[in-house]
Structure 1
Amino acid sequence: MKQSSGQEFSFSKKDFERVRQVLYAKAGIKLADSKDSLVYSRLARRLRILNIQSFQAYLDYLEKTPEEQQPFINALTTNLTAFFREPHHFDALAEYLKKNKRKLTIWCAASSTGEEPYSIAMIVAECFGSFDTPVSIVASDIDSNVLEKARNGIYSVDAVKKLSAQRCRQFFHRGTGRNQGKVRIVPELRKMVLYKQINLMHSNWALSYPIDIIFCRNVMIYFDKPTQVSILKRMIALMPANGMYVAGHSENFNHQRELVTPMGQTIYAPVKSAPE
């Protein structure tokens, strides 16, 4: 990897390897060889903010400065999401809730900016016909910036254009004046979701169990296979036998038959003989 004459900061192959090693150690995320341009563009912003002149100096600073670890992770995590993305999962959630109208806990393990947990909350509110339900929804992410956006629940009008008029009326307030072009989740729905910062690589997730439903979608693809299996084992250990684990469209755990059994398109039931 050579520094382009147009590059603002020197960025060597050694620097890229150090970034990969730190990100894997801190967040379990394995960056592909092809991600050098992404790393440069994302972290160059941090160098400018900190007035650091090279990636080598930044990485030395990162080693000595624990408070820089979160901005580093935030810069390199990808947060692609939408309301009711992969709609068949929400149909399955509605069916599960209809059959289990009782106290339940749902964990959304990669909340990003909130579209997924609020979609879950909408389904819960619709199934119970109320915002006051026996269902607890916990939403977590490693990225502190996106969690703040999720808590605020403010989105562009474009983000909800595919939702039904009924859902838009019931679950969103439309902005006026300075906030024209924006919508905000109604406070009753925001109160249904508890947001927490959780790094899936940490030994303590600080969650109460049992957790009946886990949405962990399009997260595992960033981990290597041993890390995927380790996290899946820990999640399944939190679930009851009739729980539901929801994966992303790019994730397949059909081969992990000692942990889960398929029950739909990228939806699994826990195998409770699984090792904890």
Structure 2
Amino acid sequence: MDDASPSEDRLSDRDFNRLGSLIQTHCGIRIPPAKKVMVEGRLRRRARVLALPTLNDYCRHLFDDGNLHQELTDLIDAITTNKTEFFRENNHFRFLVNTALPDLATRPHRPGSNRPLKLWSAACATGAEPYTLAMVLSEYGRANGKPTFPFDILATDICTEVLAQAKQAIYPEEMAAAIPPELAKRYLRRSRDRNRPTVRLVPELRQRVHFGHLNLMDSDYPLEQDMDVIFCRNVLIYFDKPTQHTVLSKLCRHLRPGGYLFVGHSESVLGSTLPLTHVATAVFMRR
């Protein structure tokens, strides 16, 4: 029997709702009906990998044949959106350098020789955000006469596929266009294979970023609770309001008083009961 064509191979409303409920329960992401075609396209690729002829067969494989547990990671990887750019929403990095870092340096128990600055990039996708942070902090150290400025960056994501890419730190050349030329010269190395125009972050920078798998919907995060800076940008928009509040509450538990939380420009925590004070566009300080 021939495979069904994309026009015929569609998710039933029942299967779409089952998948939507599963995704929202597991990782908080809402999938509205307008995203149905996108979901179908991504799951067809998974169905082909598993040699399943149709999306109906794929859903039967998940829900009726007892394969949900072993397929769940690949399902999440297929569904999640992982848009990322270097120096995305660049005013955040300017605020970090001009305001947050000088402020943190004046605090009691400030980062010093025995305590590195601790940053967490939540929902880091393929790593452009944490590597941007590493470049910015390295440059801050150079500009302030501290070439060995101590900092640790933790980068987490729910998607195992993008974490593997992030650890490689290899990107298409066009993706590096947003990196200022002087930083690109210092921190990037171009591939010698001109048929494969890619760049890779230098080892000195890669060593400053540590990657790990984490689901923001988990009840607890097995992380240190004295982060100085948390970036959790452009992920809250995929959650409903109660889930946003729950996730932000957990983030606050890992942010030390006086620490900074950066969210996406289309996101806000204003009006919430969280211990946060608005200090700049999409930037909050823990009280």
TM-score scaled by structure 1?
Answer: 0.92
1:55 CA drift (Å): 2.6
Deviations 1:98-126 (A, max 9, x none): 33342321000011111100000111111
1:80 to 79, 83, 86: 83
Q: Does 1:190 align with 2:190?
A: no
1:100 alignment counterpart? 104
Contact 1:83 1:116 in 2 (8 A): yes
Q: Does 1:118 align with 2:115?
A: no
Contact 2:87 2:178 in 1 (8 A): no
Q: Does 1:142 align with 2:158?
A: yes
> How far apart, in 1, do the equivalents of 2:282 and 2:93 lie?
12
2:21 alignment counterpart? 21
Deviations 1:138-181 (A, max 9, x none): 00000001111111010111111232221011110011126641
State the number of aligned residues.
Answer: 268
1:244 alignment counterpart? 260
Contact 2:155 2:209 in 1 (8 A): yes
1:50 alignment counterpart? 50
1:154 alignment counterpart? 170
Structure 2: stretches of 5+ with no match in the other structure: 106-110
Identity %: 35
* C-alpha spacing 1:168/1:258, structure 2 compared with 1 (3 Å): closer
Structure 1: stretches of 5+ with no match in the other structure: 272-276
Contact 1:261 1:269 in 2 (8 A): yes
> How far apart, in 2, do the equivalents of 1:201 and 1:118 lie?
24
TM-score scaled by structure 2?
Answer: 0.88
2:277 to 240, 250, 261: 261
Deviations 1:163-205 (A, max 9, x none): 2221011110011126641110001000000000100111232
2:70 alignment counterpart? 67
1:232 alignment counterpart? 248
1:274 alignment counterpart? none
> How far apart, in 1, do the equivalents of 2:195 and 2:152 lie?
31
